[in-house]
Amino acid sequence: MLRREEDPLKWDEAAEALKGSHFEEVKRMVEDYRKEVVWVGGEKLRVGEVAAVAGRMAAVELNEEARVRVKESSEWVMESVHKGTDCYGVTTGFGSTSHRRTTQ
């Protein structure tokens, strides 16, 4: 049986060599990628979280504040459409087709 002070795989040496590297950042990305749920609410998303969602490895949940903002935005879009107001990308094209209008 190995004694605690023995380190046949030289983990301490490897950890020392990685100081100042991006090791901690990569560990965080892996942790984020392994999340089952990514919460969205206005704060920044990290690379691992985006990769997990894009790869369909994690579900996305909106926090309550984000739900309220999404609902308000949706209501604004519907109200604008009913009024006949041009809404970029909704009742118009976007980019080079933004001059086109749609009623659908």
Question: Does some domain include residue 6?
Answer: no
Q: Is 17 exposed, middle or buried (0-12, 13-18, 19+ CB in 10 A)?
A: exposed
* Residue 48: per-residue pLDDT: 92
Question: Does some domain include residue 40?
Answer: yes
Three-class secondary structure of residue 26 per DSSP: helix
- Has 33 been annotated as catalytic? no
Residue range(s) defining the domain that contains residue 40: 28-97
Question: Does some domain include residue 52?
Answer: yes
Question: Does some domain include residue 77?
Answer: yes
Question: Does some domain include residue 103?
Answer: no
Three-class secondary structure of residue 37 per DSSP: strand
| Tens digits of residue pLDDT in 28-66 | 889 999 999 999 987 889 999 999 999 999 999 999 999
Domain count, the chain: 1
End-to-end CA distance of the chain: 73
Greater confidence (101 vs 76) lies with: 76
Question: Does some domain include residue 16?
Answer: no
The residue annotated as part of the active site, out of 23, 76, 88, 94, is: 88
Question: Does some domain include residue 18?
Answer: no
